Chains A and B, each alone.
Chain A
Amino acid sequence: MTSSAMPPVSPVSEPQAATDAAPGTGPVGTLLTERPPVTATTGPMIAIDDVSKWYGDFQVLTNCTTSVTKGEVVVVCGPSGSGKSTLIKCVNALEPFQKGQITVDGTRVADKKTNLPKLRSRVGMVFQHFELFPHLSITDNLSLAQRKVLGRPKAEAEAKGLALLERVGLKAHAHKFPGQLSGGQQQRVAIARALAMNPIVMLFDEPTSALDPEMVGEVLDVMVELAREGMTMMVVTHEMGFARKVANRVIFMDKGEIVEDAQKEEFFGSPRSERAQTFLSRILSH
């Protein structure tokens, strides 16, 4: 049960430099034990190109275009019902879309020939309601997909899970079940579960929205550290403090459209659109 027993899944040559998100080189390799393997050497990690989506007659996404480059942290914000959760779920094809194209690490997600389980196993996702598997212990939650999707041996998967659990500060809870943990603890386990798959990118869908206020911090701390270690992240959140701290770019959505897509300083300093100004003034006034 030692972490030294874990061989790297694939040797990755490039030593990644600290990104813009990490002012003053942060502690590298605390959450990311192995550098995520990336196949595409050029181009953005996520490219969303002119994506539209309808539920019946109702259009939920309208001509959304944006991209996320490697190591970038992009925060997606906007009023509820603006399509931000839907957009992020299109990235790993949890939601189908009818028009446009999304590529992740050079792979088209809507292509029928794409091996979606394989693609999804390389894209970590964290949900608003944690979605840990309630009938499995924390250890089994962390190792299930490693074993069934990546084919890792049980001992290796559990060691990897335990190592990540320790890094999110929950090693003592390995034997427990999700229902015995607080919301904040469950969400940290959910982040560890996603990281255990060595994802090349992490998607967060309102990861703190279902949490009691006093638990928001512990989850954001993990995410901040992850960002500082150079993880590529797309984060749907209302936590503007998080955005200010680690985001490179902020995307503002309203009524299914990307209204604003700007560098962080620009977005918070002088948002161009009126809708973004109104939104910001509402959520920052308290």
Chain B
Amino acid sequence: MNYNWNWGIFFEASPEGNGTYADMLLSGLMWTIVTALCAWVIAFAVGSVIGVLRTLPGRGAQMVGNAYVELFRNIPLLVQMFLWYFVLPEVLPESWGTWLKQLPNAPFYTAVVCLGFFTASRVAEQVRAGIQALPRGQRMAGTALGLTTAQTYRYVLLPNAYRIILPPLTSEFLNNLKNTSVALTIGLLELTARARAMQEFSFQVFEAFTAATVIYIIINLIVVTVAGVIERRVAVPGR
């Protein structure tokens, strides 16, 4: 292999004209983080609601929850990205579609919504598992004290369920963060997209992807560390 190593490449000006290659990667990292956080807000909120629906006694609520989960977790994320970005504007009424296509930062909004809804289906499954892992008597005790169903979930079931599912939820957050890279296919300039651009501009493929790899690992290790801190903070004494 005849390859010219050049680790100094990161400090050379990028052809985009506004900074070095390192700046380019960092701006990609910023988009990765912002996209992941925004998508997680949607995933956590929607996933919690859907997960709760699947544990309610009513058949209707369960069916809505099941339909959501099966729809969003059985279509590949990449296909979902294309559906949201390329197909949705075409099937909507024309004025809406045009508005969507002209939206500034459309790849970002699309990636957030798509990734959020996709991850929500997985969060929902974990929330359901967490609630079902609780002793049946917990729900009964809340109900017997006169708490409404909503209050029983809010004050009894969910606080316990979230504690149980914190470790798998951490994994889900990591997946969510890594899955932002799929959004490069719809033009989001996140970290992987920026590494690829760097490779194409400079031909330093190893340096570019080594940097991206290291940055992903560091970010995810930070997430794992923070999750560990949260886990200890919310741990219930005597358990």
Any B CB within 8 A of the CB of A258? no
Any A CB within 8 A of the CB of B104? no
Contact A179 B146 (CB under 8 A): no
Q: 16 A–B contact pairs at CB < 8 A?
A: A94-B140, A94-B143, A120-B144, A121-B145, A122-B146, A129-B137, A131-B137, A133-B142, A133-B156, A135-B159, A149-B146, A177-B236, A177-B237, A179-B237, A194-B145, A197-B146
Chain A positions within 8 Å of B, measured between CB atoms, are 89, 92, 94, 117-123, 125, 127-129, 131-135, 144-145, 148-150, 176-181, 193-194, 197
Q: Inside 8 A of A117's CB, which chain B residues have their CB?
A: 146-148
Interface flags, B134-164, vs A, CB<8A=1, else 0: 0101101111111110010001100110010
Contact A144 B155 (CB under 8 A): yes
Q: Inside 8 A of B159's CB, which chain A residues have their CB?
A: 135
- Using CB atoms, name the residue of chain B closest to A92: B144
Any A CB within 8 A of the CB of B238? yes
Contact partner, B140, options A127, A135, A148, A197, Cβ 8 Å = A127
Contact B237 A120 (CB under 8 A): no
Nearest 7 pairs between A and B by C-beta? A179-B238, A121-B146, A180-B238, A131-B141, A145-B145, A149-B146, A125-B144
Chain B positions within 8 Å of A, measured between CB atoms, are 135, 137-138, 140-148, 151, 155-156, 159-160, 163, 236-239
A135 and B160 contact, Cβ closer than 8 Å, known pairs A127-B137, A177-B237, A179-B236: yes
Contact A131 B140 (CB under 8 A): yes
Contact A129 B135 (CB under 8 A): yes
Contact B237 A180 (CB under 8 A): yes
Contact B146 A118 (CB under 8 A): yes
- Shortest Cβ distance from B25 into chain A, in angstroms? 42
- Shortest Cβ distance from B230 into chain A, in angstroms? 14
Task: For the complex, give the distance between the alpha carbons of A47 and B84 in Å.
Answer: 59
Q: Inside 8 A of A144's CB, which chain B residues have their CB?
A: 145, 147, 155
Task: For the complex, give the distance between the alpha carbons of A121 and B146 in Å.
Answer: 4
- Using CB atoms, name the residue of chain B closest to A180: B238
Q: Inside 8 A of A133's CB, which chain B residues have their CB?
A: 138, 141-142, 155-156, 160
Contact B144 A123 (CB under 8 A): yes
Task: For the complex, give the distance between the alpha carbons of A132 and B143 in Å.
Answer: 13
Contact A135 B236 (CB under 8 A): yes
With A94-B144, A120-B143, A134-B239 known, 17 other A-B pairs at CB within 8 A are A92-B144, A125-B141, A125-B144, A127-B141, A129-B135, A131-B140, A134-B160, A135-B236, A145-B145, A145-B147, A148-B151, A149-B146, A176-B237, A179-B236, A179-B239, A193-B145, A197-B146
Q: Inside 8 A of B142's CB, which chain A residues have their CB?
A: 133
Contact partner, A131, options B138, B146, B238, Cβ 8 Å = B138
Contact A197 B236 (CB under 8 A): no
Q: Inside 8 A of A132's CB, which chain B residues have their CB?
A: 141
Task: For the complex, give the distance between the alpha carbons of A122 and B146 in Å.
Answer: 8
- Shortest Cβ distance from A64 into chain B, in angstroms? 20
Q: Inside 8 A of B137's CB, which chain A residues have their CB?
A: 127-129, 131
Task: For the complex, give the distance between the alpha carbons of A179 and B140 in Å.
Answer: 19
- Shortest Cβ distance from B216 into chain A, in angstroms? 34
Q: Inside 8 A of A94's CB, which chain B residues have their CB?
A: 140, 143-144
Among B143, B145, B160, find the residue whose CB has the most chain A CB atoms closer than 10 A: B145
